[in-house]
Chain A
Amino acid sequence: MYENLNDTTTDAGIRAEGLGKRFGDFTALEDLDLVVPKGSVLGLLGHNGAGKTTTIRILTTLSVPTTGSATVAGFDVISQGAEVRKRIGVAGQSATVDGLLTGRANLEMVGRLYGMSKKDAAERADELLNRLGLTDAADKLVKEYSGGMRRRADLAATLVSTPPVLFLDEPTTGLDPASRNDLWEVLREQVAEGVTVLLTTQYLEEADRLADEIVVLDHGKVAAAGSPSQLKQRVGGDRIEVTLADAADAGPAAEALAGFAENEVHSDPGQGLVTAPVRAGTRLVEVVRSLDAAGIDVTDVHRRDATLDDVFLSITSNPKVEAHS
Chain B
Amino acid sequence: MSETLILARRNLEHVRQIPEKLIDVTLQPLMFVLLFAFVFGGVIAVPDGDYKEYLIGGILVQTLAFGLMGPGVAIATDLGEGMIDRLRSLPIRRSSYLTGHIMAEMAATLLAIAVLSGAGLLVGWGIESSLPEAIGAYGLLVLFAFAMIWLGTLIGTMARSTDVVTGIAFMTVFPLTFLSNAFVPTESLPDGLRQVAEWNPISCVVAAVRTLFGNPTAIPGDAAWPLEHPVVASIGWCVLILAIVVPMTVRAFNRRTTD
Report A's interface with B, CB cutoff 8 A.
Answer: 23, 57, 60-64, 82, 85-86, 88, 90, 92-102, 105, 109-110, 112-115, 141, 157
Whether A110 contacts B90 in the complex (CB less than 8 A), given A92-B85, A94-B81, comes out as: yes
Which of B11-19, B23-31, B124-132, B231-239 interfaces with chain A? Answer: B11-19
A141 and B86 CA atoms in complex are apart in Å by: 18
B14 touches A100 (CB 8 A): yes
A57 touches B259 (CB 8 A): yes
**A96 near B83: Cβ-Cβ < 8 Å:** yes
Q: B17, B87, B88, B92: which contacts A100 (Cβ < 8 A)? A: B17
Q: A110-B90, A113-B90 are in contact. Are A62 and B85 (CB under 8 A)?
A: yes
Q: Determine whether the beta carbon of A90 is less than 8 Å from that of B86.
A: yes
Complex Cα spacing A95 to B18, Å: 21
* Interface flag for B221 (CB, 8 Å): no
Are B13's CB and A105's CB within 8 A?
Answer: yes
- Whether A97 lies near B90 (C-beta < 8 A) is no
Q: What 8 pairs between A and B have smallest CB-CB spacing?
A: A96-B86, A94-B82, A96-B82, A90-B89, A85-B91, A86-B91, A100-B14, A112-B6
A85 vs B10: C-alpha distance when bound (angstroms): 21
Q: Are A100 and B18 in contact (CB under 8 A)?
A: yes
Contacts of B92 in A (CB 8 A): 113
| Nearest A-chain residue to B9, judged by Cβ | A109
User: How far apart are B19's CB and chain A's nearest CB, in angstroms?
Assistant: 12
**B6 adjacent to A157 (CB under 8 Å):** no
Q: Is the interface of B mostly helix, strand, loop or mixed?
A: helix
Nearest Cβ in chain B — how far from A179, in angstroms? 19
Q: Closest approach, in angstroms, between the C-beta of B81 and any C-beta of chain A?
A: 6
Pair B82/A113 contact, Cβ less than 8 Å: no
- Write 17 A-B pairs (CB below 8 A) sorted by A numbering: A57-B259, A60-B89, A61-B88, A85-B90, A86-B91, A95-B82, A96-B82, A97-B86, A98-B83, A99-B81, A100-B14, A101-B14, A109-B6, A109-B9, A110-B90, A113-B87, A114-B90
- Size of the B side of the interface (Cβ < 8 Å), in residues, is 22
Q: Give Cα A191–Cα B10 distance, bound, in whole angstroms.
A: 32
- Complex contact B89–A61 (CB within 8 A): yes
Flag if B10 contacts A98 (CB, 8 Å). yes
Looking at the assembled complex, report how far the CB atom of A127 sits from the nearest CB atom of chain B, in whole angstroms: 19
Question: In the bound complex, what is the Cα–Cα distance between A157 and B258 (angstroms)?
Answer: 22
Chain A residue numbers with a CB within 8 Å of B228 are none
CB distance from A27 to the nearest CB of B (A): 14
| Minimum Cβ distance to chain A for residue B40 (Å) | 37
Contact of B82 among A92, A100, A102, A141 (CB under 8 A): A92
Cβ contacts under 8 Å, A86 to chain B: 91
Docked CA distance A61–B98 (Å): 19
Q: Tell me if B50 counts as interface (CB < 8 A to partner A).
A: no
B91 touches A157 (CB 8 A): no
Contact of A114 among B83, B88, B91, B259 (CB under 8 A): B91
Residues of chain A lying within 8 A (CB to CB) of residue B7:
113
List chain B residues, Cβ under 8 A from A97.
Answer: 83, 86
B3 at the interface (CB under 8 A from A): yes
Binary flags per residue of B80-105, CB closer than 8 Å to A gives 1, else 0:
01110111111110000000000000
The distance in angstroms between the C-alpha atoms of A57 and B83, with both chains bound, is 14
> Do A113 and B85 have beta carbons less than 8 Å apart?
no
Q: Is the CB of B89 within 8 A of A62?
A: yes
Which B66-86 residues have C-beta < 8 A from chain A? 81-83, 85-86
C-alpha gap A82/B90 in the complex (Å): 9
Residue from A63, A82, A93, A99 within 8 A of B259 (CB atoms): A63
Sample of 10 further A-B pairs with CB below 8 A, known A93-B82, A96-B83, A110-B90? A23-B259, A96-B82, A96-B86, A97-B83, A97-B86, A100-B18, A105-B13, A109-B10, A112-B6, A113-B87
Closest to A64 in B: B258
Q: How many whole Å from B75's CB to the nearest CB in chain A?
A: 13
Please tell me if the beta carbons of A101 and B17 are within 8 angstroms of each other in the complex.
yes
Give the distance to chain B from A126, nearest Cβ to Cβ, in Å: 18
Nearest Cβ on chain B to A310's Cβ, whole angstroms? 31
CB-CB under 8 A from B10, the residues of chain A are 98, 101, 109
Min Cβ gap B154→A in Å is 22
Residues of B within 8 A of A61 (CB): 88-89
Please indicate the chain B residues that have their CB under 8 angstroms from the CB of A82 in the complex: 91
